[in-house]
Structure 1
């Protein structure tokens, strides 16, 4: 495959994204899947709703089934989507309800989080039982690897399934896989370090579920890998200042326990892997770090207690979001043993839109036959075939303000001084004035 994506600019991708009035480049699905029925669980929520809208725009002939518990919210989403959509009331904790809903669809997209501390992969098990293709937006390590343990059952049932297939994890995994593939084909060295860095302004406009996920992650020890050795670290520690390039510049990010760390370590064979996240305004980072010190880990791992926290914090978060916006960026860094360093950067002005577009890109890849039977991570070639990665990233990148792949760090960095740097300079200047 030509390496056009690895050398493409944001302008090229965005030019391709203007083919329709919606701003999306429509997907030309094979005739047998063009009118497929896609059930989106959590379809009236922020992530599921965004996915439904993106799928409808990318492939207008698809039949979108909005799976939800609240019929009123589901009806509002169907009104947005138009004639090729309908509602299905589904209880994801009830196997009978799930199997009834899945028997009439070709693909199920599981966007009904949070996935943290879920004891079973009920939706995936129902998909295997009904022989329905499956995609989820899981962002929890335990859930992701529990899903992966169903690989042989999915193979036996001839069911293609991808777990952790949203934007981060998801698109970020595919970006990492492409950086590693390019390095191994073009470099004399071996990949030795992979670093994921994520930034959102506020909650990214994605609702209380994301806030709950963030709080739950604060109760988990961070798993990272150092020279092949598994290590455990404190959540929201290990701050780094990362330059996300134009439009975002330098932001502070902190360690979190995310599934792409383990999956890319195992699948791509990179010995040192870590993932970090940061938010804005910068005092949110202080608050998150303070929570890990003030609240016991057991408290932060209790879903009922976290839901109470969300009720208290969410109105404040939404008010601040109105000022902060919902910009989003991720940067994937790869270092090789021969000194070769490359990065991929993906930035969007609205996370709530971008996550739906990314998830829709995975759904389309499955419908197009890119995924083999079994349960796969996005970076596995059986999940997203190597030759299908370019198209997936192109679709996911529609609407981005900055998207680059396989570039040297200096080619994407702005040289912007971290916020903590200018705060330190202000303090020094004040001290100098006092001394004078």
Structure 2
């Protein structure tokens, strides 16, 4: 299936109500999609978003908790069903993948996973694949299966969630816009992320955050790979309307490496922050008080999650679950451009974002192989605007290729620091 050719507007701005989404062809509307981790917050949100975007899709919610799965299926309607699947059991996986057009792997956390069993099963059964991986090691391991995916004629996209995922596509568009303007060259790309509390995404994102604290941060400075301490290098960043200024800290995220290598930007880094403010203090303290070996141990981190989860749930009740992504590109001409994406709910927007990638793959946009979202073989240039239109539904603020002052609440305050 060939993607629809669309003229891409480098300065498009999308609002929740103004955008009419393209109608899906009938053969895609009848596709069968398996959502692994469908009983969790991210997978459940993805299944719901897929059903809303395309009610005719046959969605299979897969997980270990039948009660939760069947409760979600009841809400999704007659085209959905539940399957009990153990992602650590290759036979269970391959049985579940029979007759499936696309598998969405949302059964995190991905940190410290020893193998890409779902992707391997997808390749073995010739099933299209996406995942919401946010771990550098896992993403690189997925890419190592490129030759097998090519031989099996299987299209796959790794890191295809909200961040990384939609943020990676935003970065690719900022770079493309810069390169289209005479000899202007991208020089520095910075990803800034903010989520209130856990964003309603629950224990999985808490475990992910703790595991990331055990990883040395990889960034790039003028083409040189450098390593930094996790949750260091704090910056106070203006996320604009609905979010305001927030403190963000360095984390080891896969889009840093993929943006550097694929988009060719010499200086790249990623930062994340949360609220209330004391959670940032707590995260920073953990990196100083706990050995990195402890924070890389999934069983020990799981015990930490169980300890903190009641407090986090209580805090989430008043913190809310807003999410914002700001992607900044500095150019050789001295001009800076920004992409901004803010939503009132991470648990909703991560599902919509993942569903947008799922539909792009179903539409035939993705070539056989394992790709990052920035790669045109994974998501062609002409498919990016459609994906961003879908992903930005319900946002409180979304804009691309703007000057920083156009999106900031107080443009006179620079405060972006001198860090990578």
**TM-score, normalisation: structure 1:** 0.92
Per-residue deviation at 1:110? 0.1
Would the aligned equivalents of 2:214 and 2:287 in 1 still touch at CA under 8 Å?
yes
Q: 1:257-296, aligned counterparts within 5 Å?
A: 257-296=252-291
1:394 paired to 2:389: yes
- Separation of aligned partners in 1, 2:29 and 2:313: 38
Query: In structure 2, which of residues 210, 217, 227 is the aligned counterpart of residue 215 of structure 1?
Result: 210
1:16 paired to 2:16: no
Where do 5+ consecutive residues of structure 2 fail to align? 1-5, 416-420
Per-residue deviation at 1:256? 0.2
Q: 1:180-191, aligned counterparts within 5 Å?
A: 180-191=175-186
Per-residue deviation at 1:14? 2.6
Change (3 A) 1:364 1:95: same
**In proportion to residue count, which structure has more helix?**
1
1:332 paired to 2:327: yes
After TM superposition, what 4+ stretches of structure 1 lie above 4 angstroms from structure 2? none
Q: 1:205-244, aligned counterparts within 5 Å?
A: 205-244=200-239
Query: In structure 1, which of residues 366, 371, 386 is the aligned counterpart of residue 366 of structure 2?
Result: 371
- Separation of aligned partners in 2, 1:167 and 1:358: 5
Match of 1:127 in 2: 122
Q: 1:398-413, aligned counterparts within 5 Å?
A: 398-413=393-408
Per-residue deviation at 1:337? 1.1
Would the aligned equivalents of 1:155 and 1:373 in 2 still touch at CA under 8 Å?
yes
Would the aligned equivalents of 1:187 and 1:340 in 2 still touch at CA under 8 Å?
no
- Separation of aligned partners in 1, 2:328 and 2:162: 16
1:101 paired to 2:96: yes
Change (3 A) 1:391 1:334: same
- Separation of aligned partners in 2, 1:89 and 1:101: 9
Match of 2:337 in 1: 342
**TM-score, normalisation: structure 2:** 0.95
User: Higher mean Cα deviation, 181-190 or 401-410?
Assistant: 181-190
1:165 paired to 2:180: no
Where do 5+ consecutive residues of structure 1 fail to align? 18-24, 421-436
- Separation of aligned partners in 1, 2:18 and 2:271: 31
Match of 1:426 in 2: none
Match of 1:38 in 2: 33
Per-residue deviation at 1:415? 1.1
Per-residue deviation at 1:316? 0.3
- Separation of aligned partners in 1, 2:284 and 2:146: 37
Higher relative contact order structure (alpha carbons within 8 Å, sequence separation ≥ 6):
2
Per-residue deviation at 1:7? 2.5
Would the aligned equivalents of 2:324 and 2:340 in 1 still touch at CA under 8 Å?
yes
1:2 paired to 2:7: yes
Report the 3-state secondary structure (helix = DSSP H, G, I; strand = E; otherwise coil) of the residue aligned with 2:18. Answer: helix
- Separation of aligned partners in 1, 2:234 and 2:183: 31
Report the 3-state secondary structure (helix = DSSP H, G, I; strand = E; otherwise coil) of the residue aligned with 2:329. Answer: strand
1:89 paired to 2:94: no
Change (3 A) 1:262 1:52: same
Would the aligned equivalents of 1:138 and 1:164 in 2 still touch at CA under 8 Å?
yes
Query: In structure 2, which of residues 389, 409, 413 is the aligned counterpart of residue 414 of structure 1?
Result: 409
In the alignment of these two chains, the number of paired residues is 409
Would the aligned equivalents of 1:249 and 1:416 in 2 still touch at CA under 8 Å?
no
Would the aligned equivalents of 2:8 and 2:382 in 1 still touch at CA under 8 Å?
no
Change (3 A) 1:170 1:179: same
For 1:371-429, what per-residue CA distance to the aligned partner results, in whole angstroms no more than 9, with x for missing partners?
000000001000011000000000000000000100011111111899x9xxxxxxxxx
Match of 1:74 in 2: 69
Match of 1:61 in 2: 56
Match of 2:292 in 1: 297
Would the aligned equivalents of 2:328 and 2:339 in 1 still touch at CA under 8 Å?
yes
| Bigger-Rg structure (1/2) | 1
Would the aligned equivalents of 2:7 and 2:382 in 1 still touch at CA under 8 Å?
no
- Separation of aligned partners in 2, 1:227 and 1:320: 40
Q: 1:192-207, aligned counterparts within 5 Å?
A: 192-207=187-202
